[in-house]
Structure 1
C-alpha cells in the first residue's frame, strides 16, 4: 500500500507540474499523456510483476528515470543530481576535497567522462590531461558501465591515494594511461606576478575559475599591480572552466567603462542584458591568453574584451560553452540542471559549440608534462615559465601594443 501511495503522489506531482507548464510548451497535454503511458505501464509492471519486487528501491528507480529523461535531450550540459550527489557537490563548493583537479561533464556519445578543463597546478594539469580528453576506464573499470556521478566519485578519494585512468584523445590512435596521485584540491582562483621588459613592467594575472571570491581576489591583485605601475597587463584564462556569471561580469567591469558585458537569450527568444558596473582601473594595453580549456565564464570575459577591442586574444580557440544552466530543486531533494539560455557576446555572437577564435594563434606545446615546481596552486604570487610559448607570444603581442 505504501509503495502504491508513493506512486500515486509521484504521478500526481508530475501531472500538476506538467499542467502548469504545458500551456507554454510546443506539445499538447494529449501528446504528453500519450508519451507518459509507457512509463506508467513499465513502472506498474515492475512494482507488481518483478520477481524481487519486495526488494525494489523506488527512489533509485525514480533517480534512474529522471536521469535517463534528461540524457534523452542529448545535451551534455543538462543533468540531474540526486540527493546523494547534491551532498557530494557541496564538498566541492566548500573548496577542499581529495581529487585530481579536473572539471568534467558526461559525454553521451562515447559514454565517457569528458574533461572540460584540468585545473591549473593540480595532479591532472601536471600530468598533461587536456580539454576534450575522454576518460573511458577508472581503475580498469569501464566508465560506460557506471552512472556519471559514480565515475566522478571514483575519481575523487583520499589525498595520497592512487587512481589509474585510461583516456581517449582526439588524434591519438591508442588509449593513453595515466596513474595519478590524488591531492587535497584547494583552488585559489587568482594569482599574479610581474615581468620586467625593455618597455617597462608588465602585470600578469592568472584566473583559474570564476568562483564566489574571484572578483574580490582579482581586485586585490589589480590593486597591487597598478600600485607598482605597469605598462600593460596579461590576463591568463587558459584551462579556466568558468563558474559564476556574476563573477565574470564583475571582473569584466574592471576593464569596461560602460556598456554590455554579456547577453543571454532563453528558449522563448527573450533577451537579458548585463552591463558593466564601471571601470575602476587605468586603461592599459591588455592581452588575454586562452586555449581549448577556456570555457563558459572565461569566454564571457574574453568575448567582451575582444568585442570592445580592449584586449587582443592570444592562444587557441576556446571550448565553446555558451549555455546557461538553471537548477530546479525537486521534491526528493535532488536538483535538475537544465540548459535554459545561451550566452552571447556584446556584439550578439552565440559562441556555444563554436568558441572564440584568437587574434593571434599559438601552437600547443609539444611536451605533455608540465613542471610541478612552478605550479603551486596554493600561492597567490607565482613565478612564470618564460619558456611557455603562450607567455612568449603574449608578451610579444603586448609589447607591440605598448606605446
Structure 2
C-alpha cells in the first residue's frame, strides 16, 4: 500500500472556547483533533503552526514516529501548550488511520474490554437549590453520576462559616437522591493544604464518589498526608501532561484515580500509555474532559480498551458552553446517546465523530477569547479559580 501523505492542516477556533484541527491527506482522507488549552487557544494554534514543518509531507500512518518527533524534536519538552498541540495532531492521525482501515480507533488499540462506558456530567451553582435543579435535569437525562465544585473562592485558612457551607450542596443531593446518585466533589485546586482535612471532615458523612484535585498538582507532595487521612478516593491529573508527570504519584501510591485530559496530555497515544502505567499500580482511570466532541470521543476510545477505566466526564450542558454545546458541531450526535448512564461502544471508523465543517467555518467567524475569571479574596489577595 502506498503511504498516504499529510497534505494540509487547518484550524477552527470556535465558541464557546474550543479549537479544532483538521488534517487532510493527499488522497483526501480527513482526520479531526481538538488541541486547546482553555484560555490559551491562540497560543496552542501558534504552536501547531510551528510544528507543521515536522508533519506536512510525512506519511499519515506513522503515528508513533510523529509523536516522538513532535515531543523529542525540541530541546524543551512537555507543558500544557506543547502537549495540547501534540494531542490534537495525534487524535487526528488516529482518526485518519481508523478511517483508512475502516475500523474504530479502539480496534487499533487492541480491541475493547467493555461494551459501554459509565458517564458523569458537571453540575454547578452557588446555591443548593440550583444544584438540586441541575442534578435533577441530569438524572432525568439518564445520568447516574454527577460532579460539582466543592467551594468558591477560599481563604488559605477559611472561617468556620465558610467551612460549614462546603457540605451544603452534597448534603441536599444525598437527601434528595439517597445512594442512587454518585457525586464527585471537585476541590479544583482552590483549597490550600491547611484546609483540606477540615473540608474532608465536612463532606465525608455524605460519601462523595471521589475528591478531585484536593491540592494543586504542583503541591502533589501534600497528597501523602491527605491520602492517609481519608478513605474517600482521591482523583487528580488534569493539570499533568505526560507519563513523566504521573511517575511520582503513581510510584508513591498517593492517588486512587488519575484524570489525564486527552486534549492536554499528548492525545490518544500518550494517555493510552499513562493508562497502562496506572493499571500496573492498581490505580484507576477517569479522563478529564470539559471540552468538545473530539476530546470526548478520543477519551472514550481509550476508556473502551483500558480495563482500569471507571467513569468518563462529559461536558454536555456544562456552564462554559454558553450559546454552543457539545453536539452543535456534530453531524451524528447519536454516537453520544446516553443509555441508563452509559455510552455504547463506538462502531464507526476512526474516532466515529462526523464534524459539520460548514458550521465550524461560520462559527470561526465569531471565534472566542475565553479566559477563566480572576478571583480576589475580601482583602484583595488572589484566590485560586
| TM-score in same-fold range (> 0.5) | no
The structure richer in helix per residue is 2
- The structure with more radius of gyration: 1
Structure 2 length normalisation: TM-score?
Answer: 0.29
The structure richer in strand per residue is 1
- Greater relative contact order (Cα < 8 A, sep 6+): 2
Structure 1 length normalisation: TM-score?
Answer: 0.28
